[in-house]
Structure 1
Amino acid sequence: MKKTTPALLIVDMFSRFDFPEADLIASSALSASKAIARLRQHFKDEGDPVIYANDNFANWQMDFKDLVQECLAADGVSAKIATLLRPAPDDYFVLKPKHSAFLATPLAVLLAKLGCNQLVVCGMAADSCIASTCFDSNSREYETVAVPEAIAGIGARKARALQLLEDSQAAKVVPIDRYLLG
């Protein structure tokens, strides 16, 4: 049996929360960020890679470190999440132009170089970027895991997205405590 080599993928958690429906997802994002911090610590303790995939607010001159600094300097939920999830120097990142963390990014190449065959996906939002990333991960034959407590979403839309991922077998939906216990 092939050894599982996981990577944690944190999607779109650095945000100015200036998009439509931001007020509807902000509290869910803050809650998810606390679960993501737990997952990230687990991955660090195990020596497994942590990868951030974030959009760049359509600012093609901004890099990931600038994006993090912009969020840290902001007010409210943006700064709280950025403070909690600030990347470590040994973390990886890719900027993404659209919903999926795989579309037009070097993510697949990075995962291959790291030797990863399992992708634990978390971040926001469940019914867009998380779902797109999970479907693309599954189609590339990664064992894909979605941790519901570490995924932000809007009400019933989050529940439907997670149910679709599970029903389609695009991702295993695993509660955080069960994932952390292995």
Structure 2
Amino acid sequence: MPDDSPGAGALLIIDMINRLDFAGGEALLRAAAAAGERILSLREQASAAGVPVIYVNDNHGDWHEDRAAVVAKATEADCPGRALSRRLAPRDEDFFVMKPQFSGFYTTNLPAILPRLGVRRLVLTGIAADICVLFTAADAHMREYDLWVPADAVGSEDRQRTGWALDIMARSMKADIRPTTDLRLTDWLARA
């Protein structure tokens, strides 16, 4: 049932279920692992507050995959990202949206899910801050969602690129980029 309170929000976990078996994947794994603990903390805060958790994950070009197949492939023994994918695997109560491109909004059912849940505020986490998180933030901003992109819950292959992306989201999309060490989910949602 949709929440009609002014702070109704959702936590988006972007591309964290990932094999990370590509060029640049090793550097991205380090950033994702650092962000992963913060994302888990936010996921627990969201669950405690009744805030929906929505995984927004790349389909890696395979149009026949479903949630179970994506998780299974990302947790295979030979995957560099297997431990992180296992740790962050979606729970039964979490939503899972497959995306074919950078933005979580582009040709997905996310634009239909969010209004049905009464969501007007989004917390964006995941990888890569300078690509998929940034594109998702831009599309969310154009749809007038209030954004929090915690600086310690996103990552890219390069810290400089993460900083650059966070700066764009803060300046151009009015995103709050305070880290989770400075702001709790319930406090951000309670903000007028």
The TM-score normalised by the length of structure 1 is: 0.94
Contact kept, 8 Å, 1:51 with 1:93, in 2: the verdict is yes
Match of 1:50 among 43, 50, 53: 53
Which ranges in structure 2 are unaligned for 5 or more consecutive residues? Answer: 188-192
Aligned to 1:110: 113
Contact kept, 8 Å, 2:21 with 2:80, in 1: the verdict is no
The 2-side partners of 1:76 and 1:63 are apart by 18
Contact kept, 8 Å, 1:135 with 1:170, in 2: the verdict is no
Structure 1 residue matching 2:16: 3-state secondary structure: coil
Match of 1:168 among 172, 182, 190: 172
Aligned pairs (5 A) from 1:1-12: 3-12=6-15
Q: Give the deviation of 1:73 after TM superposition.
A: 2.2
The 2-side partners of 1:169 and 1:152 are apart by 18
Aligned to 1:83: 86
Contact kept, 8 Å, 1:143 with 1:171, in 2: the verdict is yes
Matched, 1:21 2:24: yes
The 1-side partners of 2:182 and 2:160 are apart by 23
Comparing 165-174 with 150-159, which one deviates more in the overlay? 165-174
Cα RMSD after superposing both structures: 1.4
Matched, 1:130 2:137: no
Contact kept, 8 Å, 1:14 with 1:67, in 2: the verdict is yes
Aligned to 1:146: 149
Number of residue pairs matched by the alignment: 181
The 2-side partners of 1:171 and 1:77 are apart by 31
Aligned to 2:33: 30
Sequence identity (%) = 33
Contact kept, 8 Å, 1:10 with 1:121, in 2: the verdict is yes
Contact kept, 8 Å, 1:34 with 1:84, in 2: the verdict is no
Structure 2 residue matching 1:54: 3-state secondary structure: strand
Matched, 1:66 2:69: yes
Match of 1:158 among 139, 159, 162: 162
Structure 1 residue matching 2:21: 3-state secondary structure: coil
Q: Which has the higher strand share?
A: 1
Contact kept, 8 Å, 2:149 with 2:177, in 1: the verdict is yes
Q: Give the deviation of 1:103 after TM superposition.
A: 0.5
Letter of the aligned partner of 1:8 in structure 2? L
The TM-score normalised by the length of structure 2 is: 0.89
Ranges of 4+ aligned residues in structure 1 off by more than 3 Å? 74-77
